[in-house]
Amino acid sequence: MAFADTRPRLLAWALAVLFAAGAPAAWTPASAAPASPAQAVTREQVNAAAERVRADPNMPGTKTEKKLRFKDRDEEEDEPEKKTDSLDWLRDFVRSIADGARWLVWALGALALAWLAVRIHRWVKVRAVGARPGKEALPSHVGSLDIRPETLPDDIGQAAAALWQRGQQRQALSLLYRGALSRLVHLHGVPVRAASTEGECVALSATRLAPAPQAFFVRLVDAWQLAAYGGRLPATAQVLAVCAEFDAHLSVAAATGAAAGSPAGTPGEVPA
């Protein structure tokens, strides 16, 4: 876009008009008489003529013209830079979020590895303690069953037989299984854990018991599982036989005999 100022042309035109008006008087042939001072053009007349020319409505004023031209390459390169600069904050914000998310993922991964390492360490420690039975590793419960000796009667077989004859069959079988687990843990040193199942208890007892006490414990577990999971009660004769043989296979004397390498006893007999 270009602007053209015509003020110099207006002034030239005014001078031309004055010259045309005063020329006949100012310029005469050489033979003519010189012009008088009254006929000379003064500065005031020139200014007055210029004002009249400016006031003429037919004279043009300032003219504005519009022209098409090619844009310089520098100007074209400036505009994308401005647009790019205006999005710098958004780019920086997205980059910050991405960096933060990456660090968060690394932190969560590190925590997961640390948690896994702690769990593995505890599991190895529990396995090691279970393999070396001691007072500090003895469980007080196996599942929901309390196997602490102080919570059990002195003569477990006789107490279970009394419950069975009073019609409390499930309580009688539970007492037999609880008592057997308590004897295995506290007398025979079987590494039973709090979460051990019946099958695991049978497998663990096989490493510590003699064949006769092991066979007795398998019979007892079968009777307990039949009632607890099968919904059926074993025969009364079978249960009363287990009650009568309880101390013969799982008593202190039986544990001492097994440790000394002597037979643990036969059903119905209590080792001396």
* Secondary structure (3-state) at 166: coil
CA angle 4, 6, 9 (to 5 degrees): 140
> Percent of the chain beyond pLDDT 70?
63
DSSP string, 71-139: PPHHHHHHHHHHHHHHTHHHHHHHHHHHHHHHHHHHHHHHHHHHHHHHHHHHHHHHHHHHHS--GGG--
Per residue in 113-154, pLDDT (tens digit) is 999 998 898 888 766 655 554 455 689 999 899 999 999 998
Query: Per-residue pLDDT averaged across 94-118, rounded?
Result: 89
Q: Backbone dihedral region of 89: left (phi > 0), alpha (psi from -120 to 50 degrees) or beta?
A: alpha
- For 72, how many CA atoms within 13 A lie in the half-sphere containing its CB? 3
pLDDT band at 70 (very low <50, low <70, confident <90, very high): low
Q: What Rg do the C-alpha atoms of the chain give, in angstroms?
A: 60
Q: How far is CA 176 from CA 5, 214, 271, in A?
A: 121, 15, 20
- pLDDT attached to residue 82: 54
Task: Please tell me the distance from the alpha carbon of residue 272 to that of residue 258, in angstroms, as a whole number.
Answer: 13
- pLDDT attached to residue 95: 85
User: Do 217 and 184 form a contact (C-beta atoms < 8 A)?
Assistant: yes
Question: Which range among 1-5, 160-164, 233-237 shows the weakest confidence by mean pLDDT?
Answer: 1-5
Q: Backbone dihedral region of 231: left (phi > 0), alpha (psi from -120 to 50 degrees) or beta?
A: left
Please tell me the CATH code under which domain 136-260 is placed.
Answer: 1.20.120.330
Query: Per-residue pLDDT averaged across 250-255, rounded?
Result: 70
Higher-pLDDT residue of 33 and 167 is 167
One-letter identity of residue 218: V
- Strands 141-142 and 63-65 come out as unpaired
Higher-pLDDT residue of 164 and 75 is 164
> Percent of the chain beyond pLDDT 90?
36
Task: Please tell me the distance from the alpha carbon of residue 64 to that of residue 17, in angstroms, as a whole number.
Answer: 26
Q: Which residues pair with 160 in a beta bridge?
A: none
Question: Which range among 11-20, 58-67, 198-207 shows the weakest confidence by mean pLDDT?
Answer: 11-20
Q: Does pTM top 0.75 for this prediction? A: no
Provide the residue ranges of all domains of the chain, joining segments of one domain with +.
2-65, 74-131, 136-260
Distance spanning both ends of the chain, measured CA to CA: 126
State the residue for tokens 């051990």: 196
